[in-house]
Structure 1
């Protein structure tokens, strides 16, 4: 449970940074408490999407992994962020990604920030 909470907080921080940097990713315009709750809910959705759907997409796109030498991973990550935006809209959360290019740039930023924070926090295993 601790591992899930730490991963969710890291994803929330990474999503918040991506929304702050990328103009095509919008977060709620409310006060900081509303933004915090929104970004935590979006981080949970993002984690569930990456846990359930991403492995299936990677399996079916395996030939593209070989053909593009793994660069298709960036596109898959962008699509997972875009799918998170769609699910957030359906759940009436104030998080939206306006198109593919902001999703691609946002997914790169989320990957870098998550990687950095995971390196800083370390792993208990």
Structure 2
């Protein structure tokens, strides 16, 4: 027979996770209704996509600079995410790890200069 008591910590973790996620979702909504900060208006309920209001025709052209800036932000955010583990483990990786990260930085700097030269960072 299988001893189900070994699954008790997993079930406890599951119940705590579901309880906390439910509290984080519904508690702020309930508090806002009780304190009076729940004040919907036509402007708050309007559709908002990609930095500008939605348009009727799906074939209309629109400015893609918003997406370009978002992609550039993600790229340089990932650079920061790679930088911390590299700095922490630099004593273990040695000169090979340092050289690899310098190649990575060089690629990012070349990409940044290219984006700057073509005007991707300009916002009129």
After TM superposition, the score normalised by the length of structure 1 is 0.30
Higher normalized helix content (fraction of residues): 1
After TM superposition, the score normalised by the length of structure 2 is 0.30
Higher normalized strand content (fraction of residues): 1
Instruction: Indicate the structure (1 or 2) with the bigger Cα radius of gyration.
Output: 2
